[in-house]
Structure 1
Amino acid sequence: MPRRGSLLGRLPPLADAERFEALLETPCGRVERIVSFGHASPPGFWYEQAEDEWVLLAAGSATLAFEDGTKLTLAAGDWIILPARQRHRVDAVSGDAVWLAVHLRTGQARDQQQDSGNAG
C-alpha cells in the first residue's frame, strides 16, 4: 500500500525546537519535513552535513547565513542547493516555516551510512 501525507497538513504542536520528520529514507538519501516555530540556529551553531541537500521552503520565511558572511532570504516556494560540507545556519525564521529537505548520499557519505547501518 502506498504511503501518503500532506506536507502542510497535521503540523506538530508548538515546541521548544524545530521538528524533523523523515518522510522517506533509503541508502541513497533522505527526504524530511522540518517544521520551524520561529527557532533560528543557536548562536555559534553551524550545520555542516556530509550530504548534498536540496531544501524547499514550503511555507513561511527564513534567512540563511553562511560562513563567508553571505545571507540569503527565502520566501515560501524558494529552494536552494547546499553542497556537502557547506557551513550554514538558520539566521531567522518565521513561526510558520515548513521545509522540505532532500539529503542525497553519494560516494563516501552513502558508504558511511551503509557501514553504520550494518554495525548494529
Structure 2
Amino acid sequence: MISRIAGLAVAAAATLAATTGSAVATPEASQPLCSATVNRPCAWQQSSGGGIVGAARIDAADHQQMTMLRVEVKIQRAWGSPWETVASATRIRSGSIRVTTPAVVTDYRTLVCATGGPAGSIEQQSTTCTY
C-alpha cells in the first residue's frame, strides 16, 4: 500500500513539475535547474547506490559574503504524522556553496529542505523544500 501511495505522489509531483516549470528533481538528475535568485537555496534529492541523498546549492551575489547552507532529508512515517529529520549537513563559506547529506535508505515519504543565505543575517535566510 505504501508503495502505491509513494508511486502516486511521485506521479503527481512529476505532473506538477511539468505544468508549473518547478525544479522538482527526478532520481537520476544530478542537479536540477534552479531559478537564478541570489541567496535563495535550491534543494533536490537524488538516488545513490546507498539510498537517497539530499542536496542543495545557493548562489551568492558577493563572493566576499559568508554564506550558510543547511540541507535536511526528512521522512514521514505515516500520512499526517510529523516530518522527522534523518540526515542533515551544514556548511558555511564565502560565496556560492553546495551541500549534500549522507545517503538515507527508507521506504517512507521523503522531503528535502534547504535553509540558507547570508551567515550573519538570519532574517535574510530562506527555506526551500521539495517533495
Tell me the TM-score normalised to structure 2 length: 0.34
Higher relative CO (Cα under 8 Å, sequence separation at least 6) belongs to 1
Looking at secondary structure, tell me which structure has more helix per residue.
2
Tell me the TM-score normalised to structure 1 length: 0.35
